[in-house]
A and B are shown apart, each in its own frame.
Chain A
Amino acid sequence: MDFRVDDDQRELAEGIRAMLTGRMPLEHLRAREGHERAITGDDWAALGETGVFALTLPEPSGTGLGLAAAALVFEELGRGLVPGPIVGTFLAAHAGVVEGAAEGRAQVGVHTVGRPGPVLVEHLGVLDALLVLDADGPGQLVTPAPVGGARRVEQPLDPLTPLWRLEALPFGGSVTDDHGALWHQGALLTGALQVGHAGAALELAVAYAKERQQFGKPIGSFQAIKHMCADMLVRSEVARAAVHAAACLLDAPDVVDGEAEAAGCTPGQMLGRSVTGAKLLADEAAVANARAAIQVHGGMGFTWEVPLHLHLKRALVLSTTFQTPADAAAALAAYA
């Protein structure tokens, strides 16, 4: 057993980070705030060319990597606040159900069926297709995306996540889905994005705490600030370990059997438990770290200029997909 992030994986993550900071830095992405197309076609194609959607596809069309590698890449996408339907497009490419998804020529959204209520779909107006996933049922692919009858939401919470409202859940053809694999992968990658948001909030808070002076000292020398930052690291590292462990289980069915035996559940339950728990902790870490980072920034943290509200808002958007933290916690109680 060696559960470290290995050198190849670290290089992969660093490569993605370098690509994002070079090709789509935050000020570039933020120019699209409030736009109905949150990410330009060129940027989307650049993500496709980098192989972001094809990580798990066999070579030569993909890179033949596992979900552990994908989790590291998605952590960087979260850290970089990359908008757009990245999880849905990855799933569509992985399942091979939408032409052009793997290459960044198509945009595929994902809508997860949650509690009854208004049906708000992210990025709907620019989608080529929409996956509709249910924790318990088979996945459906609605193609083309159900744009007719959809109304654009005028005041979306996240200025980089445009929303459309549908009158009812759309129906589509069923997607081959063995034991909720798409759901598990989607929840895992959403969790990975959240780990990125949690990490970004921590990095911004620490950088500010080192630089901002009050009472003649950097505020990071005060224990009240230090301890908030330490708690942020604890939240993100614990969530990160959980996301990585869930990714390893999805990658290696033979490991699942041993883990399930030790935990006293079936292999299928073990996967669900692992992914659900990881997503829950990642959701919490992302939201709580964004909140804490805003507090460390004081009044500046409450401004539109400082990007912490973008991490907070995106984290909230993501936490409502693939089960809310509350529903995840309720589901996990059965495993105690």
Chain B
Amino acid sequence: MDLRYTAAEQTFRSELREWLAATLPGVGAPPPHDDWPARRAYDLHWQRLLFEAGYAGVDWPAEGGGRGSSPVEQLIFKEECERAGAPYVGVNFVGLLHAGPTIIAEGTPAQKERYLPGILRGEEVWCQGFSEPDAGSDLASLRTRAVRDGDDYVVTGSKIWTSHAEVADYCELLVRTGDAGNRGISWLIMPMDTPGIEIRPLRTIEGTTEFAELFLNEVRVPVANRVGDENDGWRVTMVTLSFERGTAFVGELLESVRLLGEVRAVADRLGLLGDDGLVRRIGHLVAVFDALWALTKRNVSEAAQTGIPGIGGSVFKLSFSEHSQALGDLAVELLDRAALCADPLQGPDGGALGNAEQLHAWFKSISLTIAAGTSQVQRNIVAERILGLPRAR
């Protein structure tokens, strides 16, 4: 157990820190939440800056055009970006974290050449067409059908929870090409300008359009766009998961630490720090977030040495999502009636209450126990794969 960073890791950090300090002042403020074209332009510009500085795809292997950094350097990258207030990965998320790594691992040379540079250079945006209205936690039951017709698949069905579909160039799409179950699934690259794709934005409980539903009506996707063998798409999808190096929620964790600081500052200004119960809830979250930072280092170290993310990811996500909600609940309780609107409000001292930001964080926290594997599914995974309890539903 050693928390010392190597000289190389320290150099990586200080160079990155210098670059961020020099670059971020020119990046400007992010566009409004609902302005998707502007968000696309903003996020792609940031990706372009990363690419030019050699920081595009720090977690991609060098043969895919990435930087090939170690998991510890990936952790440092995310930590420094978050602490410096750099833009979030945004619309580049699916390309950089899902589609790109999948193509690196399973794509043909032609597919790699065609699709990877566009992701790294901040030129092309990807979205994800995995979940369906009737296939959520039980993803392998998906029913969107792809039928061969000459050199094309003809795809019909619907997909849901597709983030930034409106501004995506490509969709990583799971379709049924064979029998029921996870052995009849194929992984396709679907250009989003193909005729037959209807995008219907979904409003979240926050009122914004964070993701969309896709309706696919006889969409023709070239067979050449299949990644991996026909009916081998489930395995192809699982391969991507092994790219996770324990750093998936680093940004969110550090963001929660910052929000907790703001909650305490507002409580202080409102004269509420005499409330022992409130103070203890704040202090408890300090302990938890510190511990989750330590657990992140443990998970990253595990991935660095074994190449496998290990068991820690589910443990981390279960604890983090629960305590992120505790933080959101605390903030809302503290704001009292100021939590009843997202119009920026001031406290009695004239200072900003941060109610809009805290409300946004509260809503986001509610999604954390659902997205990327519900907490119930995560607990099953922990109980069955780690603790060895019998599989049965």
Contacts and interface: CB of A to CB of B under 8 A. Distances in A.
A273 B295 CA distance: 16
Contact of A241 (B2, B280, B294): B294
B294 to A, nearest CB: 4
A65 to B, nearest CB: 11
A3 B1 contact: yes
B2 A1 contact: yes
A2 B282 CA distance: 30
B291 A242 contact: yes
Contact of B287 (A1, A223, A258, A280): A280
A39 interface: no
B379 A230 contact: yes
A234 B318 contact: yes
Nearest to B291: A242
Given A248-B2, A333-B280, A1 B9 contact: yes
- Name the interface size band of chain B: 35 or more
B4 A330 contact: no
Interface string A1-44: 11111100100000000000000000000000000000000000
A210 B3 contact: no
Nearest to B312: A237
A245 B279 contact: no
Nearest to B6: A1
Range of interface residues on chain A?
35 or more
B276 interface: yes
B380 interface: yes
Given A1-B6, A226-B384, A262-B83, A221 B290 contact: no
With a 10 A CB-CB cut-off, give which of A5, A202, A330 has the most chain B CB atoms: A330
A274 interface: yes
B81 interface: no
A95 to B, nearest CB: 23
Interface string B346-384: 000000000000000000000000000000101110111
A129 interface: no
Most buried by B among A262, A326, A328, A329: A329
The binding surface of chain A is classed by DSSP as helix
B72 interface: yes
Contacts of A239: 291
Interface in B268-304: 273, 276, 279-288, 290-295, 297-298, 300-302, 304
Contacts of A5: 1
B4 A4 contact: no
Interface stretch (A77-85, A106-114, A249-257): A249-257
A252 B4 contact: yes
A56 interface: no
A233 B4 CA distance: 27
A333 B286 contact: yes
A231 B321 CA distance: 13
Given A238-B319, A245-B3, A336-B260, A210 B389 contact: yes
Nearest to B316: A238
B25 interface: no
B138 to A, nearest CB: 15
B264 interface: yes
Contacts of A234: 315, 318-319, 382
A141 B328 CA distance: 46
Nearest to B383: A226
Contacts of B263: 336
A226 B380 contact: yes
A238 B288 contact: yes
Nearest to A255: B3
Given A210-B388, A329-B287, A255 B4 contact: yes
Nearest to B279: A333
Given A233-B315, A233-B387, A281 B283 contact: no
A238 B2 contact: no
A68 to B, nearest CB: 5
A223 B286 CA distance: 31
Given A9-B1, A336-B264, A242 B290 contact: yes
A333 B260 CA distance: 10
Interface in A204-230: 206, 209-210, 217-218, 220-221, 223, 225-227, 229-230
Nearest to B281: A329
Nearest to A205: B387
A242 B290 CA distance: 7
Interface of B: 1-6, 9, 72, 79, 83, 260-261, 263-264, 273, 276, 279-288, 290-295, 297-298, 300-302, 304-305, 312, 315, 318-319, 376, 378-380, 382-384, 386-393
Given A3-B298, A237-B312, A277-B287, 19 more contacts: A1-B3, A4-B1, A4-B298, A6-B1, A9-B1, A229-B389, A230-B382, A230-B387, A234-B319, A238-B315, A241-B294, A245-B293, A245-B294, A245-B297, A255-B3, A328-B283, A330-B279, A331-B283, A336-B282
21 contacts: A1-B72, A1-B301, A4-B298, A68-B1, A202-B387, A206-B388, A210-B390, A217-B392, A218-B390, A221-B391, A231-B318, A231-B379, A237-B295, A238-B319, A239-B291, A242-B295, A244-B294, A245-B290, A326-B280, A330-B279, A331-B283
A-B pairs, 3 with minimum CB distance: A277-B287, A332-B283, A245-B294
